[in-house]
Amino acid sequence: MECRRLGSTNFEISRIGFGCWAISGHGYGNVDDRQSINSIEKALDIGINFFDTADVYGFGHSEKILSKALGSQKNKVIIATKFGVNFDDHNNTYKDCSPKQINKALDGSLSRLKIDCIPLYQIHWHDKKTPIEDVMETLLKCRDAGKILHIGCCNFSKELIFRASQISKLTSHQCLYNLTKQQNNNIIKYSSEELDMSVFAYNVIGRGIFSGKYDNNSKFGVNDTRNKDSDFQGEQYTKNILIAKKLSEIGEKYGKSPVQVAIRWVLENSNVTCAITGSKTPAQISENVGSLEWSFDQKDMERIDSMIL
Distance CA 117, CA 174 (A): 20
Q: Which of 57, 177, 190, 202 is catalytic?
A: 57
Query: 24 — phi, psi (to 5°)?
Result: -80, -15
One-letter amino acid identity for 39? S
67 Rama class: left (phi>0) / alpha (psi -120 to 50) / beta: alpha
Q: If we measure between CA atoms, which residue out of 133, 111, 135 comes closest to residue 122?
A: 135
Which uninterrupted H or E stretch holds 265?
A: helix 258-267
> CA–CA distance from 296 to each of 70, 181, 252, 284 (Å)?
34, 20, 12, 22
57 is a catalytic site residue:
yes
Report helix, strand or coil for 119.
strand
One-letter amino acid identity for 47? G
Distance CA 41, CA 186 (A): 36
| CB distance 189 to 182 below 8 Å | no
Which residues are designated catalytic?
57
